[in-house]
Amino acid sequence: MNVIAFLSQKGGSGKTTLSVHTAVAAEASGERVCVIDADPQESATAWANAREAQTPIVATAQAGDLEAALKAAKDEGMSLVVVDSPPHAAPAASQIARRSELVLIPVRPSAFDLAAVPAAVEIIRAAKVRGAFILSACPFRAPEIGETRAALEAYGLPIVPHEIIDRRAFSRAVTTGSAVTEFESDGKAAEEIRALWAWIKDTLKR
């Protein structure tokens, strides 16, 4: 069972959006997926409650419940667990990072997001786990995207080659308890999420 986590020390980076959409894309590719909602805001849980489909399973679990939730997922035969990590919670984030095969740091192309990057990178390095950046909620064709990529290169972690653009399809899909790959399966947002999952899957195999 692989465990991946979306982790950021800044709220509003797109962790939950990426977590649930990646989970649905992974399930569509044949994975048995569980999302662990470790964010106190429980946005992924709210998404699941609005969802008609029974899968992927979303389990609410704070830091102290993480081990039990991971064991339950393994016992249920899950092949992939996606953890939506809490922001501003270094001890919990460190625990999640240590239990993950891959930690993805969502970064919006903004000065505030870049300022939060060192703390997340420190957590990944302390946990001795593989990490990568994913540019999320990017304005369409904005020069800040390239500038942010250049700034992130200094940290020596991989950067997912394709960014996630801030598209209305994401918010519309979440409102209906669906993912963009279901809501608008042939749209650009769905294409970006499938590409992200393909990159993650390939990285986990290495």
Q: pTM for the whole thing?
A: 0.95
Residue whose C-alpha is closest to residue 7's, from 111, 114, 123, 112: 123
β partners of residue 130: 102
Distance from C-alpha of 95 to C-alpha of 114, rounded to nearest angstrom? 23
Residue whose C-alpha is closest to residue 5's, from 119, 92, 74: 92
Task: Flag whether pLDDT at 162 surpasses 80.
Answer: yes
Mean pLDDT of 100-106: 97
Task: Supply the range of the domain harboring residue 60.
Answer: 2-205
**Per-residue pLDDT band at 98 (split at 50, 70, 90):** very high
Domain CATH code at residue 11 = 3.40.50.300
Q: How far is CA 9 from CA 105, 112, 159, 173, 205, in A?
A: 9, 11, 18, 25, 27
**Per-residue pLDDT band at 10 (split at 50, 70, 90):** confident
Looking at the structure of the chain, the number of domains it has is 1
Mean pLDDT of 54-76: 93
**Per-residue pLDDT band at 99 (split at 50, 70, 90):** very high
Mean pLDDT of 116-120: 93
Q: For residue 110, with 0-12 CB atoms within 10 Å meaning exposed, 13-18 middle and 19 or more buried, which class applies?
A: middle
Q: For residue 89, with 0-12 CB atoms within 10 Å meaning exposed, 13-18 middle and 19 or more buried, which class applies?
A: middle
